[in-house]
């Protein structure tokens, strides 16, 4: 049965919690299905040209599970993910969040990351991300640690730019 969940919005304390690691993979299958169903629904209502991700806390579940889909449509279930390697280079990249769609910012992120995680069967694997997908992986893993993307900005929430004003913002103004 398809279960589309409401996405938790900015301001909810759930988004600030550090989430608990998964130890019983049989108990989380419904959460994974809910994340996938909700992503499928969101893709019908919004356009995500650079990929899409959704973390368990964004649907009210306090566990370390996220689903990330690349711009090419490859979807990864990431359970207890950890960034194990990064490039030496960070660059400003346009970032937003499903929990508050009306804002954007340029955030300095590593342009390449290697992530170690478990899949829905409890099998360990690694995935590498470059550019936009690297940003997405970092963003989703941050969610699992109670970190929101604007936490990486010098003035935090004050540096968020409304979507309608965002194209006029210069990358060179980013000092994070």
Q: What is the set of active-site residues?
A: 140
Beta strand pairing status for 52-55 and 161-162?
Answer: unpaired
Residue 142 near residue 148 (C-beta atoms within 8 A)? yes
**What strand order describes the sheet that includes 65-69?**
52-55, 65-69, 75-86, 112-118, 124-130
CA distance 79 to 58: 15
Residue 128 near residue 136 (C-beta atoms within 8 A)? no
The length of the chain, given as a count of residues: 176
**3-class secondary structure, 21:** coil
Host H or E run for residue 22: none
Tokens of 86: 């990064």
């Amino acid at each position: 049965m398809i279960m589309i969940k409401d996405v938790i919005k900015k301001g909810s304390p759930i988004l600030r919690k550090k989430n608990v690691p998964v130890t019983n993979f049989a108990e989380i299958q419904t959460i994974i299905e809910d994340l996938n169903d909700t992503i499928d629904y969101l893709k019908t209502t919004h356009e995500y040209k650079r990929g899409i991700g959704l973390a368990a806390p964004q649907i009210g579940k306090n566990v370390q599970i996220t689903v990330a889909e690349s711009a090419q449509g490859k979807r990864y279930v990431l359970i207890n993910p950890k960034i194990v390697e990064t490039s030496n280079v960070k660059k400003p990249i346009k970032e937003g969040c499903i929990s508050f769609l009306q804002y954007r910012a340029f955030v300095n992120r590593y342009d390449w990351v290697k992530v170690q995680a478990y899949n829905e069967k409890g099998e360990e694997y690694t995935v590498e991300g470059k550019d936009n997908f690297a940003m997405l992986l970092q963003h989703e893993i941050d969610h699992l640690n109670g970190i929101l993307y604007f936490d990486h900005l010098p003035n935090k929430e004050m540096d968020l730019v409304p979507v309608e004003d965002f194209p006029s913002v210069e990358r060179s103004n980013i000092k994070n």
